[in-house]
Amino acid sequence: QLQLVESGGGLVQPGGSLRLSCTASELPLRWYAIGWFRQAPGKEREGILCINTNGSTTNYGDSVKGRFTISRDNAKNTVYLQVNSLKPEDSAVYYCAAYTHYYCSGAIDYWGQGTQVTVSS
């Protein structure tokens, strides 16, 4: 099966930036639409952004208000989430996930383990 591993999280001060990575193995990442999600303690899981196999993107909501961007590098089997101007309320575990089909809709087949982002002074 497809394996997804997130990396790039850590502790950052308010206003800082991180680039999170979602790297696939066992199967080519280019076969899948990939979404980024996050979940903070005591809150429900929130969808952020998704990128389709053709490179087009989908916004799940307005909570990040243009501060985050998603991209993919199929040669590296990696999807990135660039997170800028971080706020304490952005602190969460960030997950990537692969959809069953080629677009950012319908069922999700695979989830990564998550990477922790903590924004604190």
Name the stretches of the chain with pLDDT < 70: none
**∠ at Cα 113 (2, 89), nearest 5°?**
135
Identify the pLDDT of residue 64: 72
CA proximity to 29, closest of 115, 113, 116, 112 = 112
| Residue length of the chain | 121
Return the pLDDT at 61. 80
With a CB cutoff of 8 Å and minimum separation 6, the contacts of 56 are none
What pLDDT, on a 0 to 100 scale, did the predictor assign at position 119?
A: 98
CA distance 91 to 45: 13
Enter the DSSP assignment of 24: E
Spell out the residues 6+ positions from residue 19 whose beta carbon is closer than 8 angstroms to its own. 8, 80, 81, 82, 83
CA angle, 84 then 9 then 101, to 5°: 85
